[in-house]
């Protein structure tokens, strides 16, 4: 199945974006590769992954990692929940990008079923001064009701150039994430 077909089959198109990316984003959580809808556990994705994509020399990119199924796919009233946002990435060197939302592991609620954790990369026309405040990994504030589509429209990114996604459901590591976010 093609990248476009997988994004449509899991309804990431149209739930998150209007058009599937043209290329597959390479995402690895250690030995665990993200494979266009394969299942990973929150325990397997507790630390930020290595990511790479095809770049145009001299270009800047934005990486969005989002869960459109908050609190569940059947009842996504908090769609989307932002898990990571890095902007002004020169090429694919994340370490040189500006982190607007620190990485937060997958944390689907117990008995909420599988969630579609989605990575999207957008090419920026130029380096951008973003007005959003940085979000630490200890809060939910600023993460609920995020919209990759609206963020892209706001900054004129167009459609994502690369993407990937995995499915995850609750495991015991979610309790650790919830402790970190307690009170927010």
pLDDT score at 182? 77
Confidence of residue 184 (pLDDT cuts 50, 70, 90): low
**What pLDDT, in 10s, does the model give residues 114-158?**
999 999 999 999 999 999 999 999 999 999 999 999 999 999 999
**What pLDDT, in 10s, does the model give residues 45-89?**
999 999 999 999 999 999 999 999 999 999 999 999 999 999 999
Spatial strand order of the sheet with 23-24 comes to 23-24, 162-168, 115-124, 60-67, 81-90, 98-101
Q: What are phi and psi of 150, to 5 degrees?
A: -70, -40
- Output the six-digit token pair for 176: 């650790």
Q: Domains in the chain, ordered, with CATH?
A: 3-173 (3.90.280.10)
Q: 3-state SS of the chain: helix, strand, coil percent to 5? A: 20, 30, 55
| pLDDT exceeds cutoff 70 at 22 | yes
Sign of the torsion angle spanned by Cα atoms 136, 58, 160, 23: negative
**Mean confidence (pLDDT) of the chain:** 96
pLDDT score at 1? 85
CA distance 13 to 75: 17
Instruction: Over range 89-94, report the average pLDDT.
Output: 95
User: Where do the DSSP E strands lie in the chain?
Assistant: 23-24, 26-29, 32-33, 50-52, 60-67, 81-90, 98-101, 115-124, 162-168
Global confidence as pTM: 0.97
């Amino acid at each position: 199945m093609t990248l476009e077909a997988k994004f449509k089959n899991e309804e990431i198109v149209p739930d998150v974006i209007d058009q599937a990316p043209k290329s597959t984003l390479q995402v690895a959580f250690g030995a665990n590769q993200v494979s266009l809808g394969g299942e990973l556990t929150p325990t397997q994705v507790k630390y930020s992954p290595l990511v790479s994509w095809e770049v145009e020399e001299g270009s800047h990119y934005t990486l969005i990692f989002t869960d459109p199924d908050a609190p569940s796919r059947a009842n996504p009233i908090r769609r989307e929940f932002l898990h990571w946002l890095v902007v002004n990435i020169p090429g694919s060197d994340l370490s040189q990008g500006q982190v607007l939302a620190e990485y937060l592991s997958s944390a689907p609620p117990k008995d909420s079923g599988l969630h579609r954790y989605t990575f999207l990369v957008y090419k920026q026309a130029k380096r951008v001064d973003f007005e959003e405040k940085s979000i630490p990994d200890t809060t939910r504030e600023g993460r609920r009701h995020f919209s990759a589509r609206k963020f892209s429209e706001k900054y004129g990114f167009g459609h994502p150039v690369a993407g990937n996604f995995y499915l995850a459901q609750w495991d015991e590591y979610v309790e650790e994430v919830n402790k970190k976010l307690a009170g927010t």
